[in-house]
Amino acid sequence: MAVDTSPKPNGLKVALDTIVAPKEAFESIRVAPTWGWAFLIVLILFGLGGYLLTPANVHALTADWPNVVAQSPALSGMSADQQQAQLQVATKFSAFAWIAVIIFVPIYVVVASVLYLVFDRIGHGDGSFGKYWAAATNVSIIAGLGYLLTAVIAMIRGADSFNKPMDVITAMPSLMLLAPGAGPKVAAILGSVTPFSLWAIVLGATALRTVGRVSQIPAWLGAVAAFLVPVLIGAAFAR
């Protein structure tokens, strides 16, 4: 019986190569999918970013609370004390929302992996869910870096400069600069188009081309879909 003696790729190196040498990283994933280090890095980046954004999120929620009350018949019918109690609950939830990365990161990676696989089949690729799970996890490092930088920007600006939740979401320079007066749903979409999201799209297309040998157009469509589907879901809840 033949024994596979080929060296296994170093997961930390693959994660770092995703940033500095993506084609090499995805060639490694094609041979032997590795994602453990990348998953840990993504959790740390999003968790730390979310924690550092907490003061800005809490201030934005508090400053915007009168608008929230005015738009909610249930809250409008409460007494001032009851409304204040609801605000305290909401701010406590916001203060610990960063812990939810443990749930949302795997969900996103599953969605991206499935979309990669769909476009792999469209583009006559030979990838698998496991390989695309590894690729999507490593690509998510870029999104994590962008989220952490958003937190740094918020800290530099100061929490009191954010007067509604959308201000926090769009703190990173994005296409929102072209439409500052856009409604919340459009703002959520435009605010998601940042240098880091564009970087992630390029890496997604590279992953499809390298991991699954997918033809060019389906590879790019798959990468855009992996970015756009979660964005549209999030925008549906923007207010």
At residue 94, the pLDDT reads 87
Show Cβ contacts of residue 175 under 8 Å, excluding neighbours closer than 6 positions: 190, 191, 193
For residue 135, CA distances in Å to 6, 11, 121 come to: 20, 12, 16
**What are the boundaries of each domain within the chain?**
11-236
What's the whole-number mean pLDDT along residues 45-70? 93
* Residue 192: Cβ within 10 Å count: 23
What's the whole-number mean pLDDT along residues 213-237? 94
With tokens 């992953």, the residue in question is 207
3-state SS, residue 181: coil
Instruction: Identify the H or E element spanning 77.
Output: none
At residue 200, the pLDDT reads 97
At residue 66, the pLDDT reads 92
Show Cβ contacts of residue 159 under 8 Å, excluding neighbours closer than 6 positions: 55, 56, 58, 59
Residue 3 has pLDDT above 50, yes or no: no
Which of 121, 122, 58 lies closest to 91 in space, CA to CA?
A: 58
With tokens 């590795």, the residue in question is 34
22-53 per-position pLDDT tens digit = 999 999 999 999 999 999 999 999 999 999 99
Confidence band, pLDDT 50/70/90 cuts, at residue 9: confident
Show Cβ contacts of residue 114 under 8 Å, excluding neighbours closer than 6 positions: 129
Distance CA 199, CA 180 (A): 23
Residue 233 has pLDDT above 60, yes or no: yes
Which pair of structure tokens corresponds to residue 170?
């769009």
Q: What percent of the chain has pLDDT over 90?
A: 74
What's the whole-number mean pLDDT along residues 119-140? 97
At residue 6, the pLDDT reads 52
Total-model pTM: 0.90
At residue 7, the pLDDT reads 62
**Alpha helices by DSSP H, 73-170:** 73-76, 80-95, 101-122, 129-157, 165-169
What's the whole-number mean pLDDT along residues 203-210? 98
145-193 per-position pLDDT tens digit = 999 999 999 999 999 999 988 889 889 999 988 888 788 889 889 999 9
Residue 233: exposed, middle, or buried by beta-carbon count in 10 A (0-12, 13-18, 19+)?
Answer: exposed
